[in-house]
Amino acid sequence: MTDPTEPAEDTPEAVEVPGGTASEPAVAADDLSDDVDELELNPTTSQPRKVFVGGEAPLTVAEGFQLMAERECRVVLVAGDANAGKTTLLVELWARFLTGAFRGRRFAGSRTLEAFSRMHASARASSGLDAAVTPRTPHEAPQFLHLRLEEAGRLADYLLTDVRGEYFEQVVDGEISGGDVELAARADLCIVVLNGDSMESGAGLQETLFRAQHLLGGLLMPGGLRDSVPILLVCTKADLLDANRRPTVDAELAKLAERIGDRITATLLVSTRGDDREYIEESLGQILERLTAAQAGRPEATPVEHSDGRYFWRRTTDALKAGES
């Protein structure tokens, strides 16, 4: 790629890709960086196309709110203890789109694409590690990961919170609750993540459920999650549980959901990494189905399919003329 030129307003840099047409790009998908955010095709085919590369870090809360002002976004609050697997859940969900469509949805862009890629780097075979790992969330303040998806010709944007587990310890301990929990009042969906790795023993199971109940109690205090916001209880790392243990954990999650009331729309035991690829695909598929339920969007883009299954997006001519983002 050449030196960056003419940065786009909402992306850190733009690099030129020579030649090509809207229907048949001259550059192969394999020649493009994995960190491409959007592919904008210049309507004048004699001019070079621009591939916008950016999203090195999660969005700050202020940046997330700015995006909400630009387009309709669904805010997803992902809450849970440290090491529960919150970030891994989000990163592996994004990674399902690296090879193309997943459960009828297609990747349509991200303002945090390089951040996703960096978080996923240590889970790839090229990392040289013996086992997949996800770096711990380093920042103290709540931030967003952005994911844009297409389904049946309609686009929808999701802002997924990336928050350190230590932040939610304050909720569990009763130090903050309700309106004190940043982003809770703006959430359209809440995913409470429980660490399945800690539920193998009876004591560990009860401790994890106790903490989850206190977390939910804090989030549901006045000023917190709105009454209409659905909540998912998600037990991650279910592959680390003995197969005979899973029904017990599932039953205990159901009891917790019953105590909380009809706010809990589903309890799920999921695995995002491991050897059971079929279970992983089904787990992430269930999360995606609930994430995209009642998605909102408008048919403003047409997918361009490359031979390796990755997708890039071009704006319509009318949108380009209007200068829409």
Give dist(CA 37, CA 35) in Å, integer: 6
Rg of the chain on CA atoms, in Å? 21
Short-list 221, 217, 219, 254, CA closest to 235: 254
Based on the fold, state whether residues 147 and 19 are members of the same structural domain: no
Domain-located, residue 240 = yes
Based on the fold, state whether residues 177 and 236 are members of the same structural domain: yes
Based on the fold, state whether residues 309 and 249 are members of the same structural domain: no
Paired strand residues for 36: 53
Give dist(CA 100, CA 111) in Å, integer: 19
Which residue segment(s) compose the domain that 17 sits in? 13-54+300-322
Give dist(CA 67, CA 276) in Å, integer: 37
Based on the fold, state whether residues 136 and 35 are members of the same structural domain: no
Residue by residue, pLDDT tens for the chain (325 residues) are: 444 444 444 444 433 333 333 333 333 333 333 434 444 433 444 444 444 445 778 999 999 999 999 999 999 999 999 989 899 999 999 999 988 999 999 999 999 999 898 887 654 444 443 444 455 455 667 899 999 999 988 999 999 999 988 889 999 999 998 889 889 999 999 999 999 999 999 999 999 999 999 999 999 999 999 999 999 999 999 988 998 999 999 999 999 999 998 889 999 999 887 778 899 999 999 999 999 985 443 344 444 343 344 333 333 334 434 444 4
Identify the CATH number of the domain in which residue 195 sits: 3.40.50.300
Based on the fold, state whether residues 200 and 311 are members of the same structural domain: no
Q: What is the DSSP letter of 260?
A: H
Based on the fold, state whether residues 118 and 242 are members of the same structural domain: yes
Based on the fold, state whether residues 38 and 121 are members of the same structural domain: no
Q: Are strands 73-80 and 36-40 parallel, antiparallel or unpaired?
A: unpaired
Domain-located, residue 142 = yes
Domain-located, residue 246 = yes
The 10 Å Cβ neighbour count of residue 71 is: 16
Give dist(CA 186, CA 183) in Å, integer: 5
- Indicate the pTM of the whole model: 0.73
Domain-located, residue 31 = yes
Length of the chain: 325
The 10 Å Cβ neighbour count of residue 167 is: 18
Which 3 state secondary structure label does DSSP give 87? Answer: helix
Based on the fold, state whether residues 27 and 94 are members of the same structural domain: no
